Structure formats: structure tokens, C-alpha cells
Structure 1
Amino acid sequence: MSLLSLRTAPPEVPEAPPPAGWPLLRLGFRPFYLGAALFAVLAMPLWIALYLGQVTSTLAVPPLLWHAHEMLFGFAIAVIVGFLLTAGKAWTGLATPRGAFLGALALLWAAARVAAVVGPYPVYALLDLVLLPLVAAVLVDLLVLAHNRRNLPLAGILVLLSLANGAFHLAVLGTISIAPLVALHAGLALIVMIECVIAGRVIPAFTMSATPGLKLAARPALERATLSITALALALWVFAPSATAWGWVSGAALALAAALHLARQWQWQPAQTRTRPILWILHAAYAWIAVGFGLLALAQIGRIGASAGVHALAVGATGGLIIGMITRTARGHTGRPLKASKAEVLAYMLVMAAAALRVLGPLAMPQWLPQLLVCAALAWCAAFAIYIVVYAPWLIRTRRDGKDG
């Protein structure tokens, strides 16, 4: 070998060490997505059995409040935490909780879900109140260290969710004089705001990346107006009594928010995604936000009950966006192609069917409410059971490409 070749030969790059630790605890989406799916399958049948009087309640709170609280602060929050602890690494380039710390967070979440069923209320409340502030602190620390101010509002919403959760527990205990349902409505409103922010970033980006030649022009004025009116409308819905003068004001704001979300989604050209299930589920779920706001507007002026609007946001929008995101992000972060299998497409359709049965069914056929609830619950459970069957083996194993994460 000549001296010249020695001088110009590229330096050897050491191989990256193999991933360390149990795969399930390498990144936040793994334990929290799996836990959320398991909880979705187990909690819904219990709620239906309680609603139909088939089992005697041993819950720490009345069954209706347990169902509403756990779907928000149990199921949805698990997915949000898993998503943020995963996205936080991509946003900042810094390590997010893993190993024992991540395992402790997941066990804390699971312990609160169990305590709600078998434990005394103070234990349940204490366990339930710890997780969100911890995750908010972790996220703020990462974002501040990385000078990532753009995502700090999401950490702020986590803090507000912690306050709403605290208000719920204090209301149940009688410490503060508000209805527990108001605190739960506040929790749903904050979750919807998170969905509106994240969806506005990822849905058009995903749509463009999957559609060659498609360019979606950003419209900052529409984005600002949509998010601002949405926040105002949700705040009025939570705090303004329905069927009053303030109810008409909040109804008008909700109707305007519905129209803005329709305009916003129209700019994303949802028809372009009809042959890509992993994309159309996100568009279909997002469409339920406009439906939910429209139904809540009618409820605020006394035309219908609030349940339809609440479940449009909770089942259609939140459930649909969750099944769409926990499949897409889990595929990406386990080294698999971003293409839904037939099983996943069936899961998407089942969640959308559950939303239609729960929201539209009772409006059209109120006399069939118990049967509609059972059918909606079966569709919901089947969807997340499919997720468990397909994804659990991936979530507990090393990435397909051998990388960490």
C-alpha cells in the first residue's frame, strides 16, 4: 500500500453499539400505546355491563364519571404521553425517558387504572394526579434545553390537563363546588386542542409526502383563526350554561369553529388520500371535529343533548386520530413500511363505525340506545384488539432494522 493511499483512506467509523435494555422500554410509544390499547379493550365492556346493570359497581366513583374520566385521563392521556415522549426526542435530539424511568411512568399510569376499580378513592386520586405533572416537567426540560419554543404550548396544555384532572378529583371529594362533569368537559376540550395543533402539522405533511406532486399551500391566517376560535368556543362550551343567552353565544362560536375546521380540512385535499388507508383514517377522524362542534352548537341552544357532540369528539375524532396515529407512528418507529395491512384497515373502519353508532344512531333511533351502545362497544373493542394482535409483537421486540428506539 502506498503512502498516498494511506493518507487518503477514509477513517474507519466504529459500528453503533447494539440497543440496550428491554425493547418495550426504549421509547415512550411502546409501553403507553400497548397499555392504552389493552385498556380500551378491557374498560369498555366493564362500562357497558355497568350501564346495563349486569354487574354491581365497586368503582371509586359513580360509573358514568368513571367511564368519562378513564376514557380521557386513562386511555387518551396514555396515547398522548406516549406520543409526546416519542416526538420529544425527534423535536429536540435529546434522550427522552427510557428504561426504569419509563417503566415507572407506565406502571404509575397502570396503577391508577387498577386503583379506580379496586382501591380506595384517595389512593386512586393520588396515583392519577402524579403522571401528567411529571411528563409536563420532562417535556418542558427537554424543550428548554433544546431552545424549542414552538412546542412549549403543548407542555402548557399538559399543565392545564393536570389542573382539570385535579379539579375533577376535588369536585368528587366535595372540596370545590363545581360539577365533576365540568372538569371532564375541560379535559376533553384540552385534548381536542392538542389534536387540532398536532393534526394541523402532520395531516397536510403526511398527505403531501404520500402524493407525488401535491403541494398544499400554508394559510397562516386560516390556521390562526381556526385555533383561536376553537379555543374560545371550547372555553365557552365548558363554562357557559346551555339554553341561556351565554349558551347562544357559545353555540355561535362552536358553529363558527365547525365551519373553520371544514375550511381548514378542505385545504388539505382529503380526497387525495382515498386509496391510502393509513392517511384517510386521519382525515376521516379529523372530520368528526367539525361534526362534534356542530352538534355541541345545537346542544348549547337546547336543540339536542350534549352527549352526541361529546361522543363525536371523544369517539370519532379522538378515537379515530388515536387509531390512525398509533398505527402510523408505531410502524415508523419499529422500522416498518408506512402502509396499513388489511387488519389495520378493518380496525380503522371499526372505530369509525363505533363513532357512527354512538353518535348518529341515538339521534336517529333513540329507542334503540342500549343496543346501539353494545354494538358501538363491540366495534371499539374489536378495533383495539386487532391493534394488540398486530402490534404487541412489534412493540416488545427490537426494531426491525436493529436501530435503537
Structure 2
Amino acid sequence: MTRPSYGKQPFRSFFAVAALDAIFGAAIWTPALSWAQPWLTGPSAGDWHRQVLLYGTFPAMLAGFLLTALPRWTGQAGPRKAVSKLLLALWVAARGSYVLGPHGSGPAIAAVFLFALTLTTAGYVISSRDRRNYKIVLLLFGFSASAAMTAASYQVGLTSRLSLAAMTGLLMVVGGRVIPALTAAYLCNSGAQPVSAPVAVVEKASAAAATLALIFWIAMPDGQVTAVACAVGALLQLARATQWRGWQIRLPAAVAALHVGYCWIGLGFALLALHILVPSHVSTAAPVHAWTVGAFGTMSLAIMGSMIRKHSGLAFARSIRATAAYAAMTCAAVVRVGGELLPSNTSMWLGWSGGLWLVAFLLFIAAFHQPLLVCGCQPDR
């Protein structure tokens, strides 16, 4: 059998740097790499944490996914090599400048990268008149604006909420496309009876409720109306997830991880409502990490793994390392959020969660190092 070549696929380089960035961003905190701390010229621990996830790992994963999926969604040719190379160069420049360059240049270049990705995406969507994807362009523009605000050091709290809201919105849109499609594809491939199509009313209501909840949270993070909106958003997001009936099917690990990761979005809304109503019992970090570690961490690994396997012709092949990576990330989310709900020994919970995050991405690299780092090879089974 002829082995597929990944050299022309945009996801290959972006997924590789996303995984490596996630590993480096977590590993730099460990005692074993304490010698590297003086190299970080300026950023505080909080700034470093936000930059790695929000403006490093997530945008790289998102770029790889969109540049590969948009041609199929819009029926157009894939991006030119020059476009992919320019975007990758901007991403690398942003990460390098943030670590080694003057404080502020990294976030500024990250904003340029995100605006360039937004314009590229808008070009596909507008030229194809694909109204269904206008929401992705709008969310990308909001994400880019938050990166520019971060570079300008404008209202850190507001900027962080805008970034997290845009990220969560993008995860909801992408998850709503990928999860039902992969579930249906697996059922068709295995000869099982397909699940019923999602109810349109639930889809629209969940999107509207989540949009309102995120807007209220950005503008009024401690308002009672925000708590109500988040509670409604949580119920409808979980109702949306139940339509896909992932618990009724023995799914491969990558697809099951997507279902689990999406449920963290609904749990994040629920925890945010509880934080507003009983802030002494639920800290603001609980919902934030439900979205970042739980939803993004789990879904990013599963989406990257599924896309790699799809382009290798091994879409639903089993991989012990990949399965262990998804399990480790889920445990990292449980430990991180649980550590916020059980505040004793916070440093211990944080250490365990960070370690599990590292293990998850290391296992992911081990499972998919051939297609990501060695052109023209299949992923490990």
C-alpha cells in the first residue's frame, strides 16, 4: 500500500508546533528547567500562562485545522504554500519574541498572526458565500482584537475574558461540526445504526444562550444576570451534547474524547454561574480551567489526532499511546478543576495537573511523531 504524504497538508507543521509549544510551556515551570527562567525576559507567571495557551498553542492548532478544513467546507482549493509558510513564520516569530525578545513584541506579533489568519479565513468564507461560517470569521476577529488589546496592555481582565470567550465560542462551533460528523462516519464505517440528526431548535437555542452568556460575562463578570445566563447556557450546552449520544456507542478513543471534551464546555458555564453566586466556594479559576484544560486540552488532542488519521487512511485505527494521551488530559482537567473546588494543597493539585498535561502531549507526540515530524509516514497504531 502506498503511504500517504503529509508534506502538502497545512495541519502537519501547525499541529507539530502546537504540541511542542504546549510541552515547552508547561515544562518551563518544572524545577528541572529552572535554569531556563532567566531567559524569560519580562513576562510574569500569569502572562506566560496566558500567552502559551491563548496566543501560542490554541492559535497554532486552530490554524492547522482551519487551513485544512476550510477548502473542504467551501469547495475551494487549499491555501498556497506561501500563505501557510507566512502564517507559520509569524507564529514562530511571535513565540520566539515573547520568550527571548523585548516584552510586548511577542503579543504584538501574535496579534498580527491572528489577524492574518482571520483575513485568510474570511477570504475563503466570503468568496464562497458560505454564510454558515461567518460566525467563525466573527469569532476570529474578536480573538484577534483581544490579542491586540493584550499587546497594548489594555484592561487585562476584560481582555482575558474576551480571549477566553472567543476561544470557547470557536470550540463550540468546531465541536458542533466535527463531533456529529465523526460519530456518524464511525457508525457508517462499522455498520451500526446511525443516531438521529440533532434537533435544530436545540442547536439554535444552545448557540444563542451561550452567546448571551459569554457577552454578559465579558461585560459584567459578577452580575446576577450573567449567572442566570450561564446556568441556562450550561443546561443547553449539555442538552446539545446529549443529542450526539456518545455514551450509547462504543466509540474509538479519539471520537469519545471529543464528546468528553465538549461536555467540559457546559460544565464551565455551570461553574461560572456557581462562582458568581457563591464566590467563596467556587473560584473564577474553576470555570476557566474547565474550558482551557478540559475543553481545549481534550478536544485539541482529539481533533488533531482525528485529522492526522483521516489523512492517513486510518481514521478509526486504535492507538494505545493516543488513547493514553486523551485519558491523561481528562485526568489533568479533573485534577485542575477539582483542586479549585477543594482548595487545600492547591500547589499539589496544580503540580499533578501540569504533570498530566505534559504526559498527555508527550504521548500525543509519541503516537503521531511520524506524520508530524517525518514527512510521508503513517501514524503509529
Q: TM-score, normalised by structure 1?
A: 0.85
Structure 1 match to 2:323: 345
**Is the radius of gyration larger for structure 1 or structure 2?**
1
Structure 2 match to 1:75: 57
Match of 2:99 among 117, 124, 128: 117
* Contact kept? 1:226, 1:257, Cα under 8 Å: yes
Aligned partners of 1:324 and 1:360: how far apart in 2?
22
Aligned partners of 1:360 and 1:92: how far apart in 2?
41
Deviation at 1:203, TM superposition (A): 1.4
Deviations 1:102-125 (A, max 9, x none): 223112112211211111024223
Deviations 1:6-65 (A, max 9, x none): xxxxxxxxxxxx99xx954x1221111110000111111224559x99945734332202
Aligned partners of 1:95 and 1:204: how far apart in 2?
25
Structure 1 match to 2:352: 375
- Percent identical pairs in the alignment equals 30
1:313 aligns with 2:291: yes
Change (3 A) 1:96 1:121: farther
Aligned partners of 1:278 and 1:272: how far apart in 2?
16
* Contact kept? 2:264, 2:291, Cα under 8 Å: yes
Match of 1:36 among 18, 36, 50: 18
Structure 1 match to 2:239: 263
Deviation at 1:69, TM superposition (A): 2.7
Q: TM-score, normalised by structure 2?
A: 0.90
Aligned partners of 1:331 and 1:317: how far apart in 2?
21
Structure 2 match to 1:354: 332
Structure 2 match to 1:146: 128
Change (3 A) 1:257 1:215: same
Structure 2 match to 1:233: 213
Deviations 1:207-232 (A, max 9, x none): 22323212323311111110111011
Unaligned residue ranges in structure 2 (runs of 5+): none
Structure 1 match to 2:193: 213
* Contact kept? 2:227, 2:274, Cα under 8 Å: yes
1:187 aligns with 2:163: yes
1:85 aligns with 2:58: no
Match of 1:248 among 221, 224, 235: 224
Deviation at 1:280, TM superposition (A): 1.0
Aligned partners of 1:393 and 1:151: how far apart in 2?
32
**1:289 counterpart letter in structure 2:** I
Match of 2:365 among 383, 388, 391: 388
* Contact kept? 2:370, 2:377, Cα under 8 Å: no
**1:373 counterpart letter in structure 2:** L
Deviation at 1:392, TM superposition (A): 2.4
Q: How does 1:193-208 map to 2 (within 5 A)?
A: 193-208=169-184
Tell me the matched-pair count. Answer: 369
1:290 aligns with 2:266: yes
Deviation at 1:76, TM superposition (A): 0.8
Q: What is the CA RMSD across the aligned residues, in angstroms?
A: 2.4
Aligned partners of 2:85 and 2:6: how far apart in 1?
11
Aligned partners of 2:24 and 2:236: how far apart in 1?
36
1:104 aligns with 2:86: yes
Aligned partners of 1:88 and 1:392: how far apart in 2?
25
**1:249 counterpart letter in structure 2:** V
**1:359 counterpart letter in structure 2:** V
Deviation at 1:239, TM superposition (A): 1.8
Change (3 A) 1:252 1:399: same
Deviation at 1:149, TM superposition (A): 2.3
Deviation at 1:362, TM superposition (A): 3.3
Please give the secondary structure, in 1, of the residue aligned with 2:269: helix
Deviations 1:137-169 (A, max 9, x none): 112212222232221221221111111111122
Unaligned residue ranges in structure 1 (runs of 5+): 1-17, 401-405
Aligned partners of 2:233 and 2:28: how far apart in 1?
35
